Structure 1
Amino acid sequence: MPTKILEELKGLYVQVIHPPDKEGVALVEHLRRIGCNCEATWPLPTAINPSAAVVLISIERENRDRILRLFRSAQPTDPALLAVVTFEDPSTLQLVLECGALAVIERPIRPFGLLTNLTLARSLWLERRNTGKRIRKLERKLAGNNRTLKAKSILMETQGLSEQDAYESIRKQAMAKRISMDELAAAIINAHELLTFKDLRD
């Protein structure tokens, strides 16, 4: 995995949000030597480039509100974020935590520290993304199981079936209609709710 991540750094699209000073120029040059495809951005943009896989941002306390507007509502698909800092005082570190940075690069910029932290941030980002996918898959499965349980209960109540017979009925109907059991369960629930609503109105 680490070797694969290192290989993927070559050609990786990186957005560098940093003043075009000596440190900013050095940062972009180091990234390009690593093989990254860099976009230097300044002043602070109102949005992150959707093509960016990684974002490095200069953490300045006077830009706190604008930085948080950029990153506080981060989504799982958003790029890996690295914070570039000069000081390690509490307010700076608090801002680093609030914006969701996965690694920190200290000024003055050094090639070794940059590569290490870039690799670390990318690795953590990939792990978080994969974990998010697994969680969403489990949530969908749980929701589907709950729908099937509810549909079984409806069939048991309305048709006098046993739990096993209700399950087999859902399974066989789903196969016959060539749809998933979850889809059929949802249809049973919707039909039951419509009929119940109609009965209440009548």
Structure 2
Amino acid sequence: MFNLIKKDFVIQKSQIILFIPFIIFFAIFGDHMSPAFIFLLAGAYIPLNGYIYDEQVESNILLNSLPYTRKEIVSAKYIGGIAYMTLSIGVASIILYIFNYGFMIKDITIAMGLFFVFSAFAFPMFYILKPGYIGVAVLVGMIISAVVLPPLIRFLAKHLTTITDFLTSLSTTALYLSGAALSIILYLTSWMVSQFIYQRKVF
């Protein structure tokens, strides 16, 4: 399974070279952006590119001819997603620190939680949608999320006072632990859903 995880890194050598300039761009020109969103983009960079590459070259046909079970193929994507997300956020934090872009540990934890939530919905789509539509759907989804979520959260905070009063009554630690638990549960559920879909997929 380690070779399956390493595959995403090896096949993206040219794209990974662009990763550092990509983060440097945000470090210089993205001072109006939330650090958590920059960390989210960094964390999703390699996992999403890996899925998009597999879609373009139809590598699933090759993978299913190798001595790997379909369970291992899907598991490698989800475990690799965690590994590459952690590595990418670590590199991004070093770059932002070098460029004096202010961020806190909570920005990293929020980004990791958002990665789990976003991936929980995005990863199964790569096994459901037809090739050629997946990359576009994910990119459009990220853009829409970036535009729609902030005003939606402000709207809900303003009008759903019962929920907001309950959330504000919780301690910061309780909020972070609840968010972490929810995001991890969603990710694990997504993992099982992807396993179910991929086991029945015909190539």
TM-score, length of structure 2 as denominator length: 0.25
* Greater helix fraction, Structure 1 or Structure 2: 2
TM-score, length of structure 1 as denominator length: 0.25
Q: Relative contact order (C-alpha < 8 Å, sep 6+): which is higher? A: 2
* Greater strand fraction, Structure 1 or Structure 2: 1
